[in-house]
Amino acid sequence: MIDVFLLDDSPVCVSGYRGYIGSKFISQRPGRVVNLSNVPAGTTLLHLAARADLGADSVSTLSANIILDANVIETVAKNGLKLVYSSTNNVYPLKLNCKVGDEARPDGGYSLSKFIGESMCAGLESREYTVIRIADVFGAGQRHGNFFRAIENSLKNGTVFNLSSKSFKVRSYIYIDELCNILDFIVGDFEHQGEIYNLCHKTPMSLSKLAENIYIRDFKRLLNGDEVKADLFDVRTMCQSKVSGYSYRFDMEEALEHYVCSIKED
């Protein structure tokens, strides 16, 4: 069974605490690493652990995540834990404004494993679980996502940022600070009733629009889009779910502004 980070200040534990989202969530919060099988009953597990090698072998990613989730969900049921299951916007097809309840159409090993994981959660008799479909995440210090890593290097070094042929891809996004705030709310005194939520800012953007917003806000003309091509255009966006009792701190443009400032202050 996997190790989790058990918080000292609340009955919450986190799997995948070494990943980008998990490490940000537990940052500066006291706690200790324990085995999931030793977590006390009534604790809420924020299950972020997953293999997300989107460009790797789909079969191995699928099998690894299914085995992990099956073991985790079995332990949750056996030990009386509550569960917040991290899923992905990639369970949706390539279309605009996907809503919870729309047809799922996973297109790879990772997204299929997440959809199967959601289905396994639905088998929990207690119904004390929540599924969160997370949009594409951005924030300072990312260790994944070539686009945002290139943006960050460009802002730090004052170098030209070149848009690629994938720049017309349109997605829903969520800023890491906002996501951590929502997660903190959901793992708190939230009533888990087997619901699914889309977590994203309301305004989707193409990669080229993201870059335009970032560099206009930064008052730098570093953008070089002479070789932009639209031959890889694709769209997958979600409708933001209302999480009862929670109000978003940022809209998309405010999140981008905060993102730029955090990079420059780093």
From the number of C-beta atoms within 10 Å of its C-beta (0-12, 13-18, 19+), residue 31 rates as middle
Same domain (yes/no): 79, 103? yes
Residues 121, 131 contacting (CB under 8 angstroms): yes
pLDDT at 219: 42
Q: Summarize the confidence of residues 204-221 as an average pLDDT.
A: 74
24 lies in some domain: yes
Residues linked to residue 130 through DSSP beta bridges, in sequence order: 84, 195
pLDDT at 154: 85
Same domain (yes/no): 152, 31? no
Same domain (yes/no): 124, 146? no
pLDDT at 220: 46
pLDDT band at 226 (very low <50, low <70, confident <90, very high): very low
Same domain (yes/no): 31, 64? yes
pLDDT at 139: 94
Same domain (yes/no): 45, 151? no
Q: Which domain holds residue 225?
A: 139-170+203-235+247-265
pLDDT band at 161 (very low <50, low <70, confident <90, very high): confident
Query: Which CATH number belongs to the domain containing residue 143 in this structure?
Result: 3.90.25
Same domain (yes/no): 122, 18? yes
pLDDT at 167: 62
Q: Is the pLDDT of residue 216 over 70?
A: no
Same domain (yes/no): 71, 178? yes
Taking only the tens place, the pLDDT of each residue in 30-76 is 999 999 999 999 999 999 999 876 555 688 899 999 999 999 999 99
pLDDT at 158: 79
What is the residue type of 217?
Answer: R
pLDDT at 119: 97
Same domain (yes/no): 86, 117? yes
254 lies in some domain: yes
Higher pLDDT, 98 or 233: 98
Question: How are the residues of the chain apportioned to helix, strand and coil, as percentages rounded to the nearest 5?
Answer: 35, 20, 45
Q: Is the pLDDT of residue 168 over 80?
A: no
23 lies in some domain: yes
CA dihedral for 147, 85, 196, 41, sign (positive or negative): negative
Q: How many domains does the chain fold into?
A: 2
Q: Summarize the confidence of residues 108-118 as an average pLDDT.
A: 95
240 lies in some domain: no
Q: Summarize the confidence of residues 110-139 as an average pLDDT.
A: 96
β pairing state of 129-134 and 82-88:
parallel
Query: Which CATH number belongs to the domain containing residue 23 in this structure?
Result: 3.40.50.720
What is the residue type of 77?
Answer: A
| % the chain with pLDDT above 90 | 69
| % the chain with pLDDT above 70 | 89
Same domain (yes/no): 36, 111? yes
d(CA 68, CA 117): 9
Same domain (yes/no): 90, 145? no
Residues linked to residue 87 through DSSP beta bridges, in sequence order: 133
